[in-house]
Amino acid sequence: MHGGRRVAEELRFFLRTAAYTVVIAVIYWFYSYETAGTVMLIFVSFATGIVVSIFFFAVRATRGQLDPHAGGPLHRAGMSVARVIGFAEPTREANEEPLAAGLEPIPTGSIWPLVAGIGATLLGLGLVYGPWLLLPGIAVAVLTVWGWLTQMDAR
């Protein structure tokens, strides 16, 4: 192992789950031939794998270079594994900025979450009791989508 890109903790956070569940899914399948559990494990691996891919390709989730001279090859290999698992901190930590720069303005208050909740409640009860609740629920939901997306924040 000779240097290599430093993998951000955020990416490793999802990578561990993706790696473990895909390995366990394979072991579990050949051990038990049980479909439901295998499918669910693959689902977890797939879902976290999507996040890993997005981080890897679209976000600055790998940055900087590892120190190429730290220890012999066995030590570096061990440290790579330890880093993926999360037991060892990558070298040269310094001030790691968060993944996204810049902040959207923070809302000070909004009626739309409450309206959305009311709409969801009507929809949910409508599923149980029938269209006379379901239809108002749909109406409120449509209203919410419009209101939520068009709300300009007062600062």
Partner 1 sequence: MTTAELEGPRVGTDHAGQRAGIVDYLTTTDHKRIGLLYLFTGIGFFLISGMLAMFMRAELTVPGLQFMDEATYNELFTMHGTGMIFFFASPVFFGFANYFLPLQIGAPDVAFPRLNALTYWLALSGGLIAFSGFFVGGAASFGWTGYAPLSSEIFSPNTGTNLWIVGLIFSGSSGILGAVNFVATVFTMRAPGMTMFRLPIFTWNVLVTALLVMLTFPVLTSALVMLFLDRTLGAHFFDPAAGGSAILWQHLFWFFGHPEVYILILPFFGIVTEIIPVFSRKPIFGYRAFVFATLLIGVLSYSVWAHHMFATGVVDNLFFSITSLTIAIPTGVKFFNWIATMFRGRIRFDTPMLFCIGFLFMFLIGGLTGPFLASPAIDYAVTDTYFVVAHFHYVLLGGSVFAAFAGFYFWLPKMTGRRMDERLGRIHFWTMLIGMNVTFFPMHILGLDGMPRRVADYPASAGWTGLNEIITAGSVVVAFSVLVFGWNLVWNIFLGHGAPAGDDPWEGYSLEWATTSPPPHHNFTHLPPIRSERPVFDARMAARAAAREAAEVARGPASG
Q: Which residues bind partner 1 (CB under 8 A)?
A: 9-10, 13-14, 16-17, 20-21, 24, 28, 31-32, 34, 36-37, 40-41, 43-44, 47-48, 85-89, 93, 95-100, 103, 106-114, 116-118, 120-121, 124-125, 127-129, 148
Write b or e for each residue in 30-64: b if 16 or more Cβ atoms lie within 10 A of its Cβ, otherwise e: eeeeeeeebeebbebbeebbebbeebeeeeebeee
Alpha-carbon 150 to chain mean position: 27
As measured in angstroms, the least distance from the Cβ of 5 to partner 1 is 17
**Residue among 67 and 89 whose Cβ is closer to partner 1:** 89
Q: Which is nearer to partner 1, 2 or 154 (CB)?
A: 154
Q: How far is the CB of 155 from partner 1 (least distance, A)?
A: 11
Smallest separation, CB 33 to partner 1 (Å): 9
Q: What phi-psi label fits residue 85: left (phi over 0), alpha (psi between -120 and 50 degrees) or beta?
A: alpha
Kindly state the smallest distance separating residue 86's Cβ from partner 1, in Å. 5
- What angle do the packed helices 9-32 and 35-58 form, to 10 degrees? 160
